[in-house]
């Protein structure tokens, strides 16, 4: 039986500090998996340069010259983490039997790859890497991250709890995933939609080896908004429900006003009127904002612009 070919897909954005350290770890893992017979020698470590402004691409090109198991592709500009992972996956479709996507910072336990491949050999097409605990996070980071997953679930987005983008995906799934054409992508919510047999592998996450995190709270919020508006229409339904509730309250208020008027106890109430106007104005602005977010997504989808553009590869230099 032929051994499967693996591509480890690693998105990189301004990683010149950490890349020289973690690249060696990824290469050692490839050689280890080859030695124990889990994968074929044609397996590769594929770095995806996401328009870095530092020396990341220069480092990737140098690594590819030092060992054939290193490969790299360079996007024409920065398109974001999700698009970088997508570019690496699509580039790998005709080159391997499975991919494992993982971040460059060394926080995800690469030893979990062994168990992922074992699950693949047992028939699983998608294997999610899931954090077993968050002891290394600050209280604020832990609370916001856990709240992020719970909020997504409440809003109707199907995700794997405490799973980011560390996962094994078979070539069969990649070919089906290629049919998903949306421009606004949220990978951790899209792969559960593909289906096929899947499972989870649990691991402990480490501290970042070097450099700074590229996912502050602002990007987490942006990712949550993208995930919700790309995969769920629940916010629009909540607007409808809120509109019905406000209409009922307003109808009751009208009846109460008429009763007071005919009884003859009507008193001009500026405070109550102002409160009602402000409340309804706030509801309308929030509703328009949510609808605008969806309209913006439709606008981008209709344009159907490329989700990534590969400007250069290390294979061109060989």
Q: Average pLDDT for consecutive 10-residue bins of the chain (318 residues)?
A: 90 91 93 93 94 92 92 90 91 93 88 93 92 68 69 72 86 91 81 88 74 60 68 70 70 64 58 62 71 72 75 75
pLDDT value, residue 63: 93
Q: Please tell me the pTM assigned to this model.
A: 0.72
d(CA 63, CA 49): 13
With contact defined as beta carbons under 8 Å apart, do 229 and 294 qualify?
yes
Nearby residues of 249 by Cβ (< 8 Å), 6 or more positions away = none
Strands (E), the chain: 6-12, 44-49, 70-75, 98-101, 126-131, 163-170, 198-203, 310-313
pLDDT value, residue 262: 65
The three-class DSSP label of residue 265 is coil
The three-class DSSP label of residue 204 is coil
Per-residue CA distances from 20 to 23, 55, 136 (Å): 6, 11, 23
Nearby residues of 53 by Cβ (< 8 Å), 6 or more positions away = 14
With contact defined as beta carbons under 8 Å apart, do 127 and 120 qualify?
yes
Tokens 């439709």: give the residue.
298
């Amino acid at each position: 039986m032929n051994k499967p070919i693996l591509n480890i897909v690693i998105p990189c954005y301004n990683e010149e500090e950490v890349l020289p350290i973690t690249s060696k770890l990824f290469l050692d893992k490839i050689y280890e998996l080859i030695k124990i017979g889990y994968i074929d020698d044609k397996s590769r470590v594929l770095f995806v340069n996401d328009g870095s402004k530092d020396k990341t691409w220069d480092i990737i090109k140098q690594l590819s010259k030092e060992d054939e198991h290193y490969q790299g592709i360079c996007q024409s500009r920065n398109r974001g983490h999700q698009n970088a992972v997508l570019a690496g996956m699509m580039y790998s479709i005709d080159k391997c039997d499975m991919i494992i996507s993982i971040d460059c910072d060394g926080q995800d336990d690469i030893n979990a790859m062994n168990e992922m491949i074992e699950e693949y050999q047992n028939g699983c097409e998608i294997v999610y890497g899931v954090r077993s605990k968050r002891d290394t996070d600050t209280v604020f980071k832990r609370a916001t991250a856990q709240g992020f997953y719970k909020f997504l679930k409440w809003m109707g987005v199907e995700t794997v709890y405490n799973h980011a983008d560390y996962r094994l995906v078979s070539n069969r799934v990649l070919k089906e995933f290629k049919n998903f054409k949306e421009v606004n992508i949220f990978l951790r919510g899209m792969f559960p939609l593909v289906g096929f047999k899947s499972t989870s592998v649990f691991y402990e996450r480490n501290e970042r080896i070097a450099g700074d995190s590229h996912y502050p709270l602002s990007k987490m919020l942006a990712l949550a908004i993208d995930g919700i508006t790309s995969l769920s229409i629940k916010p629009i339904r909540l607007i409808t429900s809120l509109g019905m509730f406000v209409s009922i309250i307003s109808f009751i208020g009208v009846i109460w006003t008429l009763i007071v008027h005919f009884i003859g106890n009507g008193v001009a109430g500026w405070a109550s009127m102002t409160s009602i106007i402000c409340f309804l104005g706030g509801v309308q602005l929030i509703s328009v904002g949510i609808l605008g977010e969806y309209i913006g997504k439709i606008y981008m989808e209709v344009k159907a612009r490329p989700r990534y553009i590969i400007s250069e590869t290390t294979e061109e230099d060989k």
